[in-house]
Structure 1
Amino acid sequence: MGNVDEHLLESIDLLLTDLVGIKSDTGTELEINVENFMHNWLKELQYFREKPEYLGCYKLPQDPLKRGAIWALRKGEGKKTIILLNHHDVVNADDYGLLSSYAYNPEILMTRLKKIKLPQEARDDLGSGKWIFGRGTADMKAGIAIQLALLEQYSKVAHFKGNILLLSVPDEESLSRGMIASLSLLNDLKEKHSLNYELVINCEPHERSEEGAGTIHGGSVGKMMPVIYVRGKQSHIGNVFQGFNPISLLSKIADEVELNPDFSDEAHNEVSPPPSFVCFRDLKKTYDVSIPNAAVGYFSILTLKSTPEEITDRLKDISIKASEETIYKIGKKHKDYIDKLGSSEKVARWDVKITTFAELYEEAQGTSGELFALDYNKTVEKIKKEIENKLIGLADATTILIEKTLAYIDDMDPRVIIGFIPPYYLHVSNRDFHHLSSSIEGLSDEINRFTLNKWNEMYRSQNYFMGISDMSYFYMNERTDVVTSLGPNMPLWNKIYHIPFGEIEKLSIPVINIGPWGKDIHKFTERVYKRDLLERTPSIIKHVMEHLLDEK
């Protein structure tokens, strides 16, 4: 491993084994297991035994699972502070099938994997001995192990210049509740301990095409989840032209959206992936001999510059066009059917109204006033309890509130409603900062000087981490649009889901992702590259911290 601190290498290796061995499935009480491990491990360090006030577990407010964010401050000289960010939840191991009981024990898992059929690349990596397989090895227990080991090392340095704040949050793989809740914690710690946050270093794994060409990211992709609700007109299947099947219209809208590169953002010579639907279904509760009354679909869209308002406007245009084409096709088919019957029946004429949820809500208020408001708020309270008891998810809760609002509208014609489902991630890039220090601006060049000198290797610099991350909540430059466009069109906004934009604006910290090489994230062949884990990634992070903290 070259000139690597042997104690650091050993600490990272042992920590990874311990961390992976602790199940911390996202959205479950299991996350608390790894929180307790980290908190107890940090408490045993001499530095925190002597300064317990610099270590804590910040409990997430109103979290039914009682999860917390672990924070640890290595307080040195001056105000300059580097934040080491990680998340300690992982996706569950259901995808491992019969091997799920071994997913958290890399040594046994790798032995078992040799006995089953694997994709060739995974089999080659398994046989090379250069990779560690297991759930969370790459995403992101490796990053935690590196950060904890580095914090331990710096806790022993006398007259340490600068400050290091480690923050480990839950729920990143779900709704990022841990990061969102920790925004106020970061601002409180900043004021209490006179800290100037210079940079956030995240350690999510990165992908690469070859061994000697790593990647660092100076930002993170944004994400929003539009929901398309289509109300049709129910009818018996024996009289289908008397009804309007919402599936036909929703299918047309989905066809226009699915994998449409027009939705791919381009910024700073990078392009986000096109959108894809994650849910598409009718809303019939039971089978009967009728077409469904409504259908719903929602999809993820990744952004580099698009705002909620721009996405809403595009979806409105698509829905209008799709409605016109669907109505035309229904009319043509109806006419052909009438001609085949030799009937004098008239062709049905349909009118489909396209509205946002905000417009629908305003319409319901105008139609039903206080009666609507009381019923809507009562439904929200019922939904809160059902979500806490895991009876429904946020997507179903959103659908319920759309239907509740529709129930107070006099107009019963077919309609398309466009809204948003949590979570929402802001797109952030250091390139978009209005005032970026020269040291941060030149950080990628500094990293390459270091890697070329140490290993004769170059690291590519990208402006956006495309895997979605908690880095999205450290900076924003479009608050007005988000508040005025996203909030009113997200039924759960400020009721069950909330982002404290004011706290983000107070932080406004540049970010960088420096993580190990990982493959097959969220798959049963998930793995992390040993050399990155034990040598390259910790060495680069050390260099970046010392470069920034030593700078006058």
Structure 2
Amino acid sequence: MLQCRDEILAYTKKLVHIESVVNTNGEREIAHSLYSFLSSFPYFVQHPSHIMLEKTTRDDHDRYNVIAFVKGKGGNSKRTVILMGHTDTVGIDDFNQLQPYACSPDQLMEKLKNEDLPPSAKAHLESGEWLFGRGTLDMKSGLASHLYLLKYYAEHPETLNGNIVLLAECDEEDGSHGVISALKTFQALKETYGFNYVAAINADFVAPRFAGDDNRYIYKGTVGKLLPSFFITGSETHVGSCFEGLDPNLIAAELTKQIDYNPELSNEAYGETTVPPVSLKQTDLKPSYTVQTALAAYAYYNFFIHSWSPKDVLTKLKEQAYIAFNNALATYEQRYKQFAAISSEPYVNMDWKPKVLTYEEMMNLLTSKHGSLFKNHMTKFKEQLLKQQDLDTRMFSARVVEEAWKWMKDKNPTIILFYSSLYSPRIELTGKNEKEQALIKALDQAIKSVQPHYVHPIVTRNFFPYISDMSFVAISDNEEGLDAVTNNSPSLGYKHYVDYQDIRALNVPVINIGPYGVDAHKKFERMEMTFSLEIVPNLTNYVIQNLLN
């Protein structure tokens, strides 16, 4: 067992002290600091071409990845393991008056002694076995573990029959520009040095699955994440004559009622089930107050998948959208008749029918009818829309759909279903090829070697349950599944870029061995030090050794 606790703790604090909130200048600062730190290692002084500071591509922000590799001298193998970890964090606004200490663990923990803490946080603070602060858990202690192993093998290359490559990437917490930019670098390294990538090991955080869960989890593969979105049109009317129109917010409300927390939309595979979708936004698109009902509403939902494809999700959600639309019309009709009865006003049958189209279906209709005139208009519209720097990817997509809708001849109430953001692909690691079999065997052997040194059970599961950059090093979807994303993503190629063929070219099996803790993305974020600083690096090291030697 490597005796590495103190060194990794020091690296963790060094990284945490740099406030590297996603989409801020801190991302650039931490990359430059990390690059300077690694460049001072004797190995990289002797081999300066083995470390790179690379700016992300097609990115609105000035930020960088750090990529470094050590070539082993224990043999002539080209087998190569990728170590992954992200440098960015979520924001610190939730720390309130403790914001000045959010990235200073020692000071923060002193201040927390005077706070009214939840019982579990108080017990952890008093134990001396937990480190608090933004990024301690997600995931700078995991990155620190990788830094230690990179330094170890830089000092002991003779113990390595193969190579390790470290990717310290930015922008994991938002658009994954870091890992997506790195894909072509991995390919270039393969062409230059002949690297044969056999596995990737991510070091993102792990947490209890439920209260009282003492297991420490290692994950094989990862959940996929989609952002299905709905542009909903109604029939505008003055609020004084509300039954002469159809409020799209009513349809949106029924849609959220139908989708939110719906277990029918949980995806089970290999005995594990995703959490159901949940609403992340629901709004109308009125720019300001008027006494007219909205022309359109907009809603989007987080959606996790294990085995379903993006095409499967569109099919299922189209069905749900029809159910919601019918429910909205039934509610409208019932209430209109009830109002007519008490007001003595006549009931007029509006005869609306549920209508749901995917973005691809709408675009095919409009292209067929209007041809290049429509296509050229939409291209120019997207280019102009890009100039609105404050428009995020999700709202950019909504505005594109809204503009295309203006060209539709039939303006009856309709739902348009599309994807408004990045697709993080699902990855199944099942032993379907030699590389997967070798990684699973190496992991099982590593757990067997390390478990006697740790009191809590170390347990493997099939899908990492959170969004992570693991999604961009391998792909389980076929082309039909991916086409459902590319053909239904209005912002793809404008506000976000993913070349899925770059992922398929790398296609390396991936696992997650990361720090253990609780309250990631929250004020009391903290990691348990024994597992995170001792067990994680040793597990990772055993996997490397089992794979390469």
TM-score (structure 1 length as normaliser): 0.95
Structure 2 counterparts to residues 136-535 of structure 1, below 5 A: 136-159=135-158, 160-208=160-208, 213-386=215-388, 389=389, 391-431=390-430, 433-436=432-435, 438-455=437-454, 458-535=457-534
Q: Is the 8 A contact 2:398 2:420 kept in 1?
A: no
Tell me the secondary structure at the aligned position of residue 30 of structure 1: helix
State the Cα distance separating 1:210 from its structure 2 match.
6.4
- Contact kept, 8 Å, 2:447 with 2:539, in 1: the verdict is no
Code of the residue aligned with 1:55 in structure 2: it is I
Deviation per CA, 1:8-61: give whole Å up to 9, x if none: 333212211111000111122210111011100111000000011111112212
1:106-121 → structure 2 map (5 Å cutoff) = 106-121=105-120
1:15 to 11, 25, 36: 11
Aligned to 2:58: 62
Q: Which moved more, 1:19-28 or 1:340-349?
A: 340-349
Q: Secondary structure at the match of 2:421?
A: strand
Change (3 A) 1:308 1:274: same
How far the C-alpha of 1:113 sits from its partner, in A, is 1.1
Does the Cα contact within 8 Å between 1:16 and 1:142 map onto a contact in 2?
yes
1:75 aligned partner, one-letter code: K
Q: Which amino acid aligns with 1:244?
A: L
What is the deviation of 1:211? 8.9
String of CA shifts for 1:371-402, please: whole Å, max 9, x gaps: 3223211111122222xx3x110111011001
1:205 Cα deviation from its structure 2 partner: 1.3
Shift of 1:328: 2.4
Matches of 1:350 and 1:468, distance apart in 2: 39
Counterparts of 1:235 and 1:428, CA distance in 2: 47
Stretch deviating more after TM superposition (17-26 or 307-316): 307-316
More deviation, 461-470/450-459? 450-459
CA distance in 2, matches of 1:189, 1:495: 28
Deviation at 1:477, TM superposition (A): 2.6
- Name the CA shift for 1:332/1:211 in 2 (closer, same or farther; >3 Å): closer
Hey, what's the Cα distance between the residues in 2 that align with 1:381 and 1:343? Answer: 49
1:157 counterpart letter in structure 2: H
Instruction: Please say if residues 81 and 200 of structure 2, whose CA atoms lie closer than 8 Å, have aligned partners that are also in contact.
Output: yes
Match of 1:26? Answer: 22
Q: CA shift at 1:148, angstroms?
A: 0.8
Question: Would the alpha carbon gap of residues 211 and 400 (structure 1) be closer, same or farther in structure 2, given more than 3 Å must change?
Answer: closer
Shift of 1:216: 0.5
369 and 451 in structure 1: CA distance in 2 versus 1, 3 angstrom threshold: same
Please tell me the root mean square deviation across aligned C-alpha atoms, in Å.
1.7
Partner of 1:128: 127
In structure 2, the CA distance between the partners of 1:241 and 1:81, relative to structure 1 (3 Å rule), is same
Gaps of 5+ in 2: none
Q: Which amino acid aligns with 2:37?
A: W
Q: 1:343 Cα shift? A: 3.8
Contact 2:425 2:477 in 1 (8 A): no
Provide the identity percentage. Answer: 28
Deviation at 1:97, TM superposition (A): 0.7
Which residue type is aligned with residue 431 of structure 1? T
Shift of 1:456: 6.1
Aligned mates of 1:477, 1:138 — CA distance in 2: 28
Structure 1 residue runs of 4 or more that deviate by more than 6 Å after TM superposition: 209-212
Quick check: 1:83 aligned with 2:82? Answer: yes
Provide Cα deviations, 1:284-331, integer angstroms capped at 9, x if missing partner.
Answer: 111111211111100100110111111111111112222222222222
Moved more, 167-176 or 500-509: 500-509
Q: Counterpart of 1:429 in 2: which secondary structure?
A: coil
Residue 158 and residue 409 in structure 1: after superposition, are their counterparts in 2 closer, same or farther (change >3 A)? closer
Q: Is the 8 A contact 2:442 2:547 kept in 1?
A: no
CA distance 1:433–1:500, shift in 2 (3 Å):
farther
Q: Is the 8 A contact 1:364 1:406 kept in 2?
A: no
Question: Is 2:42 the partner of 1:46?
Answer: yes
| Matched residue SS, 1:115 | coil
Would you say how many aligned residue pairs link Structure 1 and Structure 2?
543
Instruction: Say if 2:430 and 2:436, in contact at 8 Å, map to a contact too.
Output: no
Q: CA offset at residue 435 of structure 1?
A: 4.1
CA distance in 2, matches of 1:332, 1:213: 52
1:515 positional shift: 1.0
